[in-house]
Each structure stands twice: as structure tokens, then as C-alpha cells.
Structure 1
């Protein structure tokens, strides 16, 4: 009954009700052996059945009502004597209604039982074979006709339901297609932005590498060239040595530029304490700054490549800044570690007293430390000088390295 209009709902009750009422009047208008009161009662029960059965949801209850009406009709047939037209009409009416109301297999079984009961009643009342055969043929024909009507109606409803589902699915697919188009456009936009960000990040990295490496080398060249006039006056051999050092540093600058431009990746020389000692030796030889390296608190000298590069670049930039700005004679680097972190402390005896200006170099140092997951702080040393403290995580870095190796 779901989805039907109220007019159609009542129409399906009024038509069979009118059929019952008209046939009841017809049978009452002809004298018969059947009791008119009993006949009217049976028809009234059928009329009530027409209006009640649509509200019964349970199949078992519906079948029980159909069986009860069948037994009532058979009783009425048995007591009506030779006048069996009304009882036969009610049996046929019940069969037709079962074909529409009960499930198809159950309605077939119920119809077979009705036909069997009719045969028994006709045989017990002395009915001829022709009469029995004609009654059975009529009931079978009517059942096939109305069952086919029911099947066509259900097929039509199923087709309408499938069409509605397809239309709904079509709308959903159109909506999903629009959402996919929107997501595709957003993905394209995100890809463009990601590419721009990658280019910008690479430019920043190259600029930082040039500043950290080439800037350090050029600072050494400038310091040696500034001292060259004084050395020329004092010793020809020392001046030739200075010139050779300047040429060597210039060649290293050129090599560093080529390395950065062609993006040859991390230098294997920037790994571990060996690289740090080599850097300190170069600084002492080219600038005259004395640098000490203390590794007494270091329990492990094998670091991941990104940690090694971070320490190397920060120490390189720190020494470059000391040479350029601190006017210091001594610098010290202390490296230690525990189970989870690596610590580097760089101090000098320069002129710094507490007023620090963050330029490209200091900013790049902090960015390198933060990119490696660590931290970098600056503080004053008494009575003067600058302290740089670097902390880098080792456990996380080791885990990331293992994941990359996998």
C-alpha cells in the first residue's frame, strides 16, 4: 500500500465491496434453501475482510484469516443444500483475492487446497464429473488470469522502481562528476603551488649554501690579501706562500660554485669529526684564529649525513662570523651527546656584549638547525664574546634514516 494515493487506496476496497453487496442482494432476491440471515452474515464477514485485510502486515495472520473464511464458506456450502451458487461465488472470490494478497507460492498452495475442498464437497453432494470438471477449470482459469495480472503489475512497479533508482543514481553520478572536476582543478592548483614552493625552497637552499661555503672561503681570501702588503715588505717566501694559499682558496670557491649550481648533493667530506677538524685546520691556517675542538663528552662519532652537514655548516658560518665581526683571537667548539641528542657549543673571546643583529648568516644557521629538528641559541660570554649552542635530535634522525634505507 506504500506510495499509493488515498483515492486509489479506497478504490481497491470499494470495487470488491460493491461486487459483494450486489451479489448478496441477487442471492437474497431468489428463494433458496439457505438461511437468508446466514447468507447475509457470511457476506458481511467477507465485506469486513475486504476492509481489514489491507492493514494486516503479517503473512501468517493473513493466511489464518483466509483459512478461516474458507472454513466458514465450506460450512455455509454444507448447510445450504442444493443451492450452492452463493457458496461457490464466495470460494472463487476468496481465491481471486488470495491471488492478489498472498505471496505467489503461498497463494498457489491455498488455491490448490480450495480446489481440493471443492472436489470433496461436490463429490459428497453427488455432483457429476462434468460439474466437478467445469468448476475446477473455471477456478484454474480465473487463478491464472488474475495471477498474471498481479505479476504484470509487480513487474511494472519493479520497472518503475528501477527507473527511479537509475534516475537517482544518474543524479548522484553527475554530482560526483562535478565534485571530481572540482577536486581535479584544486589538485592542479595545489600542484602548481607545490612546484613554486619547491623552486623557492631550492633557491633558498642554494643561496644559503653559497653564503655558508663560498662566503667563508672569500672571507679567508680577503683576510690573506689584506695581510699581503705587510708580508711582501717582510719576507718574499711568506708572500709567495700567501699567494699560493689565495689561489688554492679561489680554486676551492670555483669548485664549490660548480657543486652548488649542478646540485651535486651533499659532499661526502662533510661527514663526522674528520671534516670538522679539517675545517678548523683551514681556518687556523688562513686566518690566524686559534680554534680548539673538545670531544671529551662524545660517546659516538658516527652521525647521520644530515646531522653531519648541519654541524659542519653551522660551525663554518660561526667561524666565518668570528673572523669577520668578532675581532677574536681564540674560539672553542665543544661537542657532546647523550642517548637522544647531540650538543655543540661554540664560544669566542671577541667583542660581543649582548647586542646581536640577525643577518642572512645567523638566520640561515637557525633555519638549518630547525630543519634538522633541533634548536640554536645565542648568548653573551662574560666579560665579552658570543656563545652559540646547538642541539640536534639523534633518535628521531636515526629512525628517519632507517626508514629511508627501507
Structure 2
């Protein structure tokens, strides 16, 4: 039965019930209408309106649920669906909406994968250029300054030494940026070594104490999964340094038989509700690439914890 006929039948039932009451009830309407008869008519009208509203509420409840889902759905949190029970136009609408969500989630995951792959390729290119071109040019400048300082007299020699130290610091910063853009330790030494290097560098530059807890015997991951774990840890540490006002961060990488869990928690001010900025949404997009789940817990004055859960594929017996 279509939605139109369903509403029509409900109204017809209410009106039919009211008509039956008028036909078989012992109450009549006088001219002029007396107070008792007017009260009975008003009460009957109220009962009819209440019954009609209740029946329509029941009939249109699936549409209300669909409307709420449409206003709150987020493609970065996949799996939000409505139950598809029943028949008719409403059930068909819910099934169509669920199918549309599935297609959109698939297309979003595909486009995000292409965008993130292009981003990593561009990061690799920039890191290579920083290392090969900018780094070599600054190294040549350092050598030239060294020669000039050796041949110059005071006070020019002291000034050249100062410029040399500034250039050396800039070269170190360029090298650090290149390592952040292209984590060579991840490709050469593996995930645990790369996370250890990342947290050590973070502690040195951010001035925070970093506590590491890495399980031994972690399962082997493909390169994409390792890169997602590394980038999520990197972004979470960056957020902790910029916004948390913390003095300690704990990074853990633990595993069970079902999943591997990366957690980055700080003891900062927290927010009560984690803000979904560009960095957070970028972490969610990366999590979708490998079928992982990203959870963010933030409480006022109790810090923020970012947890990435990567399910492990069970081997068939």
C-alpha cells in the first residue's frame, strides 16, 4: 500500500469511527445547542484528532528515522543504516537510501585513496628535492662560509661563524622536514623503528615527555597499513603539541588476536568534545583506506586519546 493510501485509510478509519458514534450514540444535537451537547462534541473532536495524530505518527515513524539519519550521516563513519523491514513506498525509500549510502561510501573511499596516494607521491617528491637540491645548496654555502671565515680577520670572522651556525641550523631543519615528508625509517627499518624515531624527534622539538609502549611480536603489515599507522601517530602527536597544552604524551602499539591498536594519549586540557578539524578528518580518511576504526576521546582537564584499531584478517584453517 502506498503512503498516500495508507494516510487516506487511517483518516477514513478515524472519520468512520466518529460517524458511527454519532449514528449509534444516544446523544442528539438540539437547536440551539445546549452546553452538555457542545461539551460532548468537543470531547469527541479532541479524541478524533488525538487518534488521528497517533496513527499518523506510527505510519510516518520510518520517515522520521530516515530524516534524522540524513541530517547526521557522515561518510567518514561508515556503516550507518536503517532497518529495511516492511513493504511499500517507505520501505523502498529506506532501501534506496541505504544503497545510496553504500555507493557513496565506496566512491568516497576510492577517491580518498587516490587523493592520499597523490599526496604521498607529492610529499616524496618534495622531500627528495629538499634533500637533493636545497640540502646540497646549503651544504655548499656552509663550505664557502667555512673557507671565508678561515681567511677573514676579526670581527668579520666572528660574524661569518654566526652566519655559518644559522645556516647549519637551517640545514638541520630542512633535513627534519624532509624526514617528516618522507619517513625513510619506515621504509628501511619498519614500523616500530619509525615510530620510535618519530617520538624521539617529537620529544626533542616539542619539549614533552613521551612514553612508549610497543608490543613485541607484532604481525607483519603491508606498506599501506604501516604508512596509515605512521601518519595517524604523526598527526596525533602534532595535535597534542599544538593544542593540548600537555607535558606528557603516551604512544602505544598493542595487539590482540583480532586487532592491532595504536593509541596516542596526552594529559592536556582536553575539550569535552574532540574538534573535527582538517587533521582529524584526514586521519579518518586514512583509517577508511585499511578498514580501520578511529576513535577520539577527549574530556576536560583529562586529556585526549586518539585510538586507531586495525582489524587482523583471520587465516582460514
| TM-score after normalising by structure 1 | 0.36
| TM-score after normalising by structure 2 | 0.45
Bigger radius of gyration, 1 or 2?
A: 1
Using CA pairs under 8 Å that are at least 6 residues apart, name the structure with larger relative contact order, 1 or 2.
2
Q: Which has the higher helix share?
A: 1
